[in-house]
Amino acid sequence: MNSKMKKEKQIIKVSAIQMNAVKFDKEANFKKAESMLREATLKGIDIACLPECALTGYPRINRKNLKTEEEYQKELRKIISIAEPIPGPYSEKFAQLSKELGIYIITGYEELRSDKVYNTCILLNPKGEIIGKYSKVHLQDWMVDSGINHGDEFKVFDLSIRNINLKVGIIICYDIQVTESGRMMMIEGADIVFVPYCANDFSDEIHRWLFRIRALENQFYILRVHYASPYKNGDSMLIDPKGNIIFGGQTRETVLVGEVDLDYLKNVRKTLNIYGPTYRRPETYIKIVK
């Protein structure tokens, strides 16, 4: 081999599937996701991520708006009724789709596990196999009122794409607002962190900066993925490890595609070493976990 030959660039193409959704209608949401994933595949993407609980449209309960316990229990039963195990009917549909399209897919819904419901994302590989699963750790009170249980572990998953090895992490929505979530992704060595979410306020400038700072302070890429307008307000974003926005600002339903440059990531980690793990002193942080 000619020693002067340029090294092949370590580029991964990722896609945010910024879709609309219908609460409780799994089949309609799956068909919408399928159509947009097919569109993303035509753009040559490697990994596609859908919004939080994309399959079910993120139905939740605001208990303060319900007058009686009977009303609350009725709404709670509706949410529990759409939960399904993993593997299950729709994880199988997504598995068949990832195999057909030859891409990695990150998607989520209400998982039924040991008679409890979790807000869970699965990671499917191009062979149609579930190679990762993450359940949302941090829940606000209205999420718990909606029958959702806390996850208990942060995970990072090893991928190989065209002989490019990388680590990807998944956290969900409110997790990003708890500093330790991003720090755990960094400690586990994540190169890209996917953040599917459903919210009304993450397009506010302070929350855009929150995501950018998480990327900078932990030195990884972040792909945050939201629902489109009019269901929510979009603004899915790809952020690089210096906190720069690669894409963002779209509100309409669209397939967004951007590049993750792992050579650039390595260079940032080497040269901008005031962030990330370099100067951490974890032995002084003991009170955090008490």
Other CB atoms within 10 A of residue 273 CB: 12
| Structural domains present in the chain | 11-289 (3.60.110.10)
pLDDT at 5: 57
Say what the pTM is.
Answer: 0.95
pLDDT for res 176 = 97
Residue 1 confidence (pLDDT): 47
pLDDT for the residue numbered 257 = 98
For 279, phi then psi, to 5°, come to -110, 20
The whole-angstrom separation of Cα 55 and Cα 108 is 7
Which residues touch 164 (CB under 8 Å, ≥6 apart)? 10, 12, 262
- Low pLDDT (below 50) residues in the chain: 1, 3
Residues 6+ apart with CB under 8 A from 139: 119, 148, 149, 150, 174
CB of 275 closer than 8 Å to CB of 218: yes
CA distance 241 to 231: 30
CA–CA separation, 114 and 122 (whole Å)? 17
